[in-house]
Amino acid sequence: MPRVVPYLVLARSAVRALEAADARGPASLGIVLADDAELTELNRVHMGEDGPTDVLSFPLQVAGAQSDFALPPGQRPHLGDVVISVERAIEQAATGRGGHTGDVRWSARDEVRLLAIHGTLHLCGWDHADPVEEAAMQALERGLLDEA
């Protein structure tokens, strides 16, 4: 799988999304860089959808909720995992179907960064189920991309 974005850049993108969402910290999250085959299987098993997708988020914490138990010293709560299809991101960027609007042509690096931000915001409780939420989420994502 090609490495289209340095890991540090990807981590900084996720951190900016956590900060923008006012996530409780310190906390951890996982970012898994995968391919279409893995996202197809995860999409089928967890979302009941056929075919690949570009990003899936698997939250482990309820947004805004405090943990019911104390963690050992030095341990931090894990917010969940974001799984990104690098293969899908490269294809979307190359064909001008990126940006979660399906009409953006930019680098695969920016598409992967967007997917990391998008997935991280989902871990923090952001959604795009209705047009108002979608517009707010996309505006935040674009602002975070522009900061880098």
Query: What CATH superfamily is the domain 7-59+76-147?
Result: Metalloproteases ("zincins"), catalytic domain (3.40.390.30)
Query: Where along the chain do its domains lie?
Result: 7-59+76-147
CB atoms within 10 A of CB 84: 28
pLDDT tens track for 44-62? 999 999 999 999 999 986 5
Residue whose pair of structure tokens reads 């959808």 in the numeric block: 49
pLDDT tens track for 97-147? 777 676 777 899 999 999 999 999 999 999 998 999 999 999 999 999 887
What tokens appear for 122 in the block? 């989902």
pTM above 0.75, yes or no: yes
**17 close to 124: Cβ distance less than 8 angstroms:** yes
